[in-house]
Amino acid sequence: MAEVTCSFCGRNKKDVDLMISGIHAHICDKCITQANQILSEEKKANTGSDGTPNFNLVKPKEMKSYLDEFVIGQDEAKKVISVAVYNHYKRLMQQKADDDVTIEKSNIVMVGETGTGKTYLARTLARILQVPFCIADATVLTEAGYVGEDVESILTRLLQAADYDTEAAERGIVYIDELDKIARKSDNPSITRDVSGEGVQQALLKLLEGTTVNVPPQGGRKHPDQKMISVNTENILFICGGAFDGISRNIAKRINTRPMGFASSGDALKPLDVENDNLLRYITAQDLKSFGLIPELIGRMPVLTFLNPLDGDALRQILTEPKNALIKQYQKLFEMEDIKVEFEDEALDFIVEKAVEYKLGARGLRSICEAIINDAMFEMPSDDKAKKLKIDRSYAEEQFSKSKYSKLKVA
């Protein structure tokens, strides 16, 4: 029987600790260790001479045009995010210059009603990025020592997205959703301990600004016997989003408009000429403070942008235009059953009318479509003769009237 030797170095099997066999070759543990060192050095060589990573920079216009393919409208928010992410790339590539100019990171807050596309914008952004990206939820976080998750668990998700490569994770981007849910519950912080509100905001302060954090690799609570991974958050960009329900009242109060009621003819102060349907465009850090975010947290998120409420035209575009539009999804589902689906314009108008009426945003479109098409999705796959489904307004109205959504009272 022929002796087994390493195909790389020629060592005999008895001279090494471990020999791994392939189909027509073998490799010993010493060659594996050496190959691993070469691979690590090669990865370092792919970074700049000063250790800064070499990225293929995605320009803001290119990034926005990519977002436009999937997300309808919201040009202001797209521009702000595209510029912030582009600057984040440039910041990572910053050479150690002789002048002491250091580019600071600009964390972002996005404010917008439910169903306007905050989380969807972040998910779409993740597809184009060449840095680790994760989406975390602020609602599960609590102050250290209480039931829930520590703020460090946010970075656990980032580490997982980077395959536990700490260097890659330290130049990543984190999207924190539902930021408004950790607002201070009471104006007087001394009444009770706010462990899932103000306590979380205080724990986030150093994380957003930049510090070295010990992160539990599997998430959850930290305990002394657990092995920790040290992560520096100085180069991690944080994007936060929230609905901030009711913040329009604070804005209206500040800019002296009256959302309802009558102004007397002798009023010395005249309401400003503003759009009452979208007061979010006038949002400032002062409004976030009055909503319940602490000033220290607001100061660490200097870029503030808003998302417009979706009107009928935008909702109609969302139904049909994006690459993964809702109508295209239903057509794909039926196509798998060899059934062709056709939505008439009048039926689409009806869906949009109901979505505007119930003020549920883009999510409302999905609920209404499901109510209309559910019976067809139940019956047609079992019907061998069914080859086409045409949805007109009368069919849409009839199906919708049977559903529970038709019983909703409009606020």
User: Which bin fits 46, alpha (ψ -120 to 50), beta or left (φ > 0)?
Assistant: alpha
pLDDT in tens, 221-244: 777 777 889 999 999 999 999 999
Mean pLDDT lowest among 65-69, 102-106, 185-189, 311-315: 185-189
pLDDT of 310:
87
Name the strand (E) or helix (H) holding 357: helix 345-358
Q: pLDDT at residue 172 above 50?
A: yes
pLDDT of 266:
45
pLDDT tier, 269 (very low <50, low <70, confident <90, very high otherwise): very low
Instruction: Give the CA angle between residues 322, 63, 95 to the nearest 5°.
Output: 165
pLDDT of 270:
46
Q: Which residues carry a binding-site annotation?
A: 6, 9, 28, 31
Q: Specify the CATH class of 60-248+251-306 in words.
A: alpha beta
Q: At what angle do helices 326-335 and 312-320 cross, to 10 degrees?
A: 30
Please state the rounded mean pLDDT for residues 34-45: 80
Q: Compute the distance between CA of residue 165 and CA of residue 39 in angstroms, rounded to an integer.
A: 14
Select, from the ranges 119-128, 301-310, 401-410, the one with the highest average predicted confidence (pLDDT).
301-310
Q: pLDDT at residue 267 above 70?
A: no
pLDDT of 198:
87
List the structure tokens of 121. Answer: 């914008």
Q: Specify the CATH class of 312-407 in words.
A: mainly alpha
Q: Compute the distance between CA of residue 151 and CA of residue 321 in angstroms, rounded to an integer.
A: 38
pLDDT of 389:
92
* Number of H-type helices and E-type strands within the chain: 15, 11
Q: pLDDT at residue 409 above 70?
A: no
Q: At what angle do helices 60-68 and 118-128 cross, to 10 degrees?
A: 120
Mean pLDDT lowest among 93-102, 265-274, 331-340: 265-274
Closest by CA position to 297, among listed 379, 400, 399, 176: 176
Closest by CA position to 131, among listed 54, 77, 78: 54
Residue 411 or 150, more confident: 150
Amino acid letter, residue 196: S
Q: pLDDT at residue 273 above 60?
A: no
pLDDT of 406:
66
Closest by CA position to 325, among listed 356, 358, 354, 351: 351
Select, from the ranges 85-89, 100-104, 142-146, 284-288, the one with the highest average predicted confidence (pLDDT).
284-288
Please state the rounded mean pLDDT for residues 344-349: 94
pLDDT of 271:
46
Average pLDDT score over the chain = 84
Q: Compute the distance between CA of residue 402 and CA of residue 368 in angstroms, rounded to an integer.
A: 12
Amino acid letter, residue 256: N
pLDDT in tens, 119-153: 889 888 888 887 889 999 999 888 877 877 888 88
User: Which bin fits 76, alpha (ψ -120 to 50), beta or left (φ > 0)?
Assistant: alpha
What is the share, in percent, of the chain residues with pLDDT greater than 90?
46
Q: Compute the distance between CA of residue 157 and CA of residue 183 in angstroms, rounded to an integer.
A: 23
What torsion do the CA atoms of 184, 186, 191, 193 make, to the nearest 10 degrees? -20
Q: Which residues carry a binding-site annotation for Zn(2+)?
A: 6, 9, 28, 31
Mean pLDDT lowest among 49-58, 157-166, 173-182: 49-58
Q: pLDDT at residue 253 above 90?
A: no
Phi, psi of 46 (to 5 degrees): -80, -5
Amino acid letter, residue 389: L
H-state helical runs in 216-269 = 247-254
Q: pLDDT at residue 328 above 80?
A: yes
Spell out where 6-126 has E strands: 19-21, 26-28, 108-111
Count CB-CB contacts under 10 A for residue 280.
21
pLDDT of 186:
66
What pTM value is reported for the model?
0.77
Q: Compute the distance between CA of residue 221 and CA of residue 150 in angstroms, rounded to an integer.
A: 6
List the structure tokens of 337. Answer: 């059953």
- Tokens 């796959």 correspond to what residue? 381
